[in-house]
Amino acid sequence: MTVKNLLMIFGLSLIVGCSMAAPGSHATADLKDKDGKSIGRAVLRDTADGVLVRLEVKGLTPGLHAVHVHAVGKCEGPAFTSAGGHFNPLQRKHGLKSPDGAHAGDLPNMLVTKDGSGRFESKTDAITLHAGPASVFDSDGSALVIHVGVDDYITDPTGNAGDRAVCGLIVAD
């Protein structure tokens, strides 16, 4: 086999390998409390059947906390209202239990243990890390928000989740 043929085969395998590797994009969010203190991190990863969202946090109050992707990539404390409402490109109602929902940014609640630490993992096919209408990397970006309370999964538009306790700008990794 000639060097030219080997280079062609190598080049084709790179092209095929790259096209098959489309899922696998990553994003992160440094999660900060209202005082700007880092309390954890989120990692988002594209998979073949959705985006896997993982969080690890410390220093929160024990109990269930709502987790949402918010529509604007700004996390100005202490209230984090700069993050806008829930990410909702399809203009649906709020709630994982809503017959008219859910927002693309609606995620399950996260359990924080009595020592203030929490781990969360959920997969969603309602958002993407690639270009398109459900991309968290739209013109104004997106943020990941943890609320002080639990999401009831139905009350529009917020799930009665209470104030925003933590916010992190979602950035491509």
* Domain definitions of the chain by residue range: 23-172
Report the CATH architecture of 23-172.
Answer: Sandwich (2.60)
Q: Of 86, 125, 152, 173, which one is the catalytic site residue? A: 86
Catalytic residue check, 106 = yes
**Do residues 51 and 108 make contact, with C-beta atoms less than 8 angstroms apart?**
no
What's residue 31's pLDDT? 98
Find how far residue 140's CA is from the centre of its chain: 15
Lowest average pLDDT, out of 100-104, 123-127, 135-139, goes to 100-104
Q: Of 94, 115, 119, 152, which one is the catalytic site residue? A: 94
Catalytic residue check, 164 = yes
Cα gap 65→34, rounded to integer Å: 16
Higher pLDDT, 82 or 101: 82
Q: Of 33, 45, 65, 70, which one is the catalytic site residue? A: 70
Q: What count of other Cβ atoms lies within 10 Å of the Cβ of residue 11?
A: 10
Residue 100 banded pLDDT, cuts 50, 70, 90 = confident
Q: Which residue has the tokens 């943020």?
A: 143
Note if the bond before 62 is cis, omega within 30 degrees: no
Mean pLDDT of 97-103: 88
Cα gap 167→173, rounded to integer Å: 18
Cα-based distances in Å from 34 to 38, 77, 144, 166, 173:
10, 5, 14, 7, 24
